[in-house]
Amino acid sequence: MDIDTIGDWERTNDCGSLRRDDIGREVVLMGWVNRRRDLGKLIFVDLRDRFGLTQIVFDEEFDEVSHERAGILRNEWVIAVKGEVAPRLLGQENPEMPTGDIEVKAKELKILNETEIPPFQVDGKIDASENVRLRYRYLELRRPALFHNLFMRHRIALVIRSFLNSEGFLEVETPFLTKSTPEGARDYLVPSRINKGSFYALPQSPQLFKQLLMVAGFNRYFQIVKCFRDEDLRVDRQPEFTQVDLELSFVNEDGVMDVVEGMMVDVFSKILDHPVSRPFPRIEYEKAMDLYGSDRPDARFGMELTDVSDQLRSSTFRAFTEVIEKGGVVKAINVKKGASFSRKELDELSSMVTDSGAKGLLWAKLRPDGWQSPLAKSVAPNSRGAVEERLGAKEGDLIIFVSAMDHIANEALGLLRIEISKRLDLIKDGDYSFVWVTRFPLLDYDENEKRYAAVHHPFTAPLEEDIPLLGERPEAVRARSYDLVLNGEEIGGGSVRIHTIDLQNQIFRILGLGKEEVREKFGFFLEALRYGAPPHGGIALGFDRLVAIMVGAKSLRDVIAFPKTQRASCAVTDAPSPVDRDQLSELGLSLIYP
RNA sequence: GGGGACGUAGUUCAGUUCUGGUUAGAACGCCGGCCUGUCACGCCGGAGGUCGCGGGUUCGAGUCCCGUCGUCCCCGCCA
């Protein structure tokens, strides 16, 4: 096969731009053969680039040489075509294509490259399995769907950069080769050749560096930056991921939330033409757990959790009365029009509940003739009425009860609420609901390690009014923290930071970090706090997740050009892979496992 | 670390269990031929298989058993 050179040809247009107005022009197009339809004396080729498709006609009567050569074209070959824009024959227009009114009558054809038989059809309607598509990612990326996601990602990043710039933020790069810290996720380590036996860690976030930039007086910092966490993967978790990281000086919670809300309004209006109203609703963590059974509530549908202990206190149902006596609760959700759930479906829901530690669920279908329910006999009619009234339940609804200690009941009903919303298809596409969840607990007690751990991170400021509790009841202290939740997914989290050395030292002590360890791991940071650190706060947004929600992608992999597989490997390069002995010895390393 | 699903032609799948048995099928793609208005072109013909890999049971294994590798989903984990 002879491959032509591009020579002095220059593209005049991309494959998505020609219209009726261009008829009569001589154009040069270059791209991939998306499909060919060889009718003998007439050959049609859909030429593709990332901008679109244009139909090329090779007509023996129009140009014999190019028609002859076009006979050998195959899908995914790279070609250049010089020709004339012509109207399609009357009635032969293709309304499905933006370029469907015209075609390019080829005068000259250059074949710029041929191809192996592709492992899957780029234009295929039948989809290849994900491992094949990941291995040949560059072919998958030729497909419009995935390209669109990455194009959107680019545009979203652009809007964010421009917005933050206009708000006085400076983008500053921070080191990737940095220091391992004891708190948080497992670090990715990088051995040092010059300092054998020592390791850098890839950052889990630029947290301390951005705080140092506040000490440095940068006032407003941001960065769209890769972060690394060596934990197991999920559909919404990659080991390297991108954050929109911000930090502001001389602000409280409102200052940070204000900027983020402005940013989201700007992004959603410019990218999706979707109005988002401000301010975003705020809900305290405690309340979120109580109403939604989740710290990332999806407020796109109702079905809030309701405490009906008072209404059922007098029932003769032992599972209720015993739990209430022991200080537990009976909580319920009202599933509108849920009375049609089958026994089998209710059993499935019940088995979900046991996973969160509850004994099971109870239900009542509101029939015209009253409750159809295992509880019917144990709950007096006036109690039933009180429950219905409290839940706003009507005929045809389904009430689901869980009785347990409140955190278990909350979690169980929270999971049910989400599952039921999926089954009943309660969530409209294109619906976006932002919520701030605030005042998370500062600390929680790690039973395994027998010590307190920071819920957010150890630099989060406690709520002023709760500081006195730090000594006695650390677990009761609330943090000046806030998560941004979009459609029931956490897309960001941040806090007002501790900016005084004494408080920071006190927190480290409560976390059980020894003086020596603190000095070794965080000494540089504590030192910086001594040199006039301003009050500051910030947030980090999960950029991949944001993009995924905005483009409607099911998996983070669909918004990352070269994602990792669930085993944290790269299907294209096959990384990670063994290295030469020489490389290891240069680093002063030897392997325990071969 | 644990649980689950999947792995058969280049690709997507059927066949696989209950019930092992002659030559492992289909569609798309690929190759050859025909075709002047197609756009998932059409028609005729053809090639293409380490049934993920290794071991075992058996007269005989795509099918049963054990192990292993890979992909995906979930729990743990993810400040």
Distance CA A558, CA A238 (A): 12
Residue A90: in which H helix or E strand, if any? none
Q: Which fold has domain A20-113?
A: OB fold (Dihydrolipoamide Acetyltransferase, E2P) (2.40.50)
pTM of the model: 0.94
The burial of A210, by beta-carbon neighbours within 10 Å (0-12 exposed, 13-18 middle, 19 or more buried), is given as buried
Q: How much is the mean pLDDT over chain A?
A: 93
Distance CA A235, CA A391 (A): 35
Q: What is the pLDDT of residue A428?
A: 81
Banded model confidence at residue A534, pLDDT cuts 50, 70, 90: very high
More confident residue, A502 or A424: A502
Q: What is the pLDDT of residue A181?
A: 82
Kindly report, residue by residue over A297-356, the tens digit of the pLDDT: 998 999 999 999 999 988 888 889 999 999 999 999 999 999 988 887 888 788 788 777
Supply φ then ψ for residue A329, to 5 degrees: -135, 160
* Whether residue A56 has pLDDT greater than 70: yes
Kindly report, residue by residue over A65-81, the tens digit of the pLDDT: 999 999 999 999 999 99
- Complex ipTM value: 0.90
Q: Which fold has domain A147-283+434-560?
A: BirA Bifunctional Protein; domain 2 (3.30.930)
Domain limits, chain A: 20-113, 147-283+434-560, 301-423
Q: What is the pLDDT of residue A594?
A: 54
Banded model confidence at residue A376, pLDDT cuts 50, 70, 90: confident
For the ranges A210-224, A340-354, A360-374, the lowest mean pLDDT is seen at A340-354
Q: Judge: domain A301-423, CATH 3.30.1360.30.
A: yes
A232 touches strand B (CB under 7 A): yes
The conformation of residue A498, written as its DSSP 8-state character, comes to P
- Strand B contact residues in chain A (344-363), C-beta within 7 Å: none
Which nucleotides of chain B are near protein (any atom < 7 Å from a CB)?
A: 1, 10-13, 27-31, 34-42, 70-79
A90 touches strand B (CB under 7 A): no
Q: CA-to-C1' distance for A130 and B58, Å?
A: 37
* Whether residue A1 has pLDDT greater than 70: no
Query: Mind giving me the DSSP string for A7-40?
Result: TT------TT---GGGTT-EEEEEEEEEEEEE-S
Banded model confidence at residue A129, pLDDT cuts 50, 70, 90: confident
Q: What is the pLDDT of residue A450?
A: 82
* Whether residue A189 has pLDDT greater than 80: yes
Q: Where are the beta strands (DSSP E) in A209-313?
A: 220-228, 240-249, 282-284, 306-307
- Strand B contact residues in chain A (531-560), C-beta within 7 Å: 555, 557
Kindly report, residue by residue over A79-128, the tens digit of the pLDDT: 999 999 999 999 999 999 999 999 999 999 999 999 999 999 998 766 78
Kindly report, residue by residue over A430-472, the tens digit of the pLDDT: 889 999 999 999 999 887 778 899 999 999 999 999 999 999 8
Instruction: State what percent of residues in chain A have pLDDT above 70.
Output: 99
Residue A435: in which H helix or E strand, if any? strand A434-438
Any residues with CB less than 8 A from the CB of A356 and at least 6 apart, and which? A408, A411, A412, A415
Q: CA-to-C1' distance for A82 and B43, Å?
A: 32
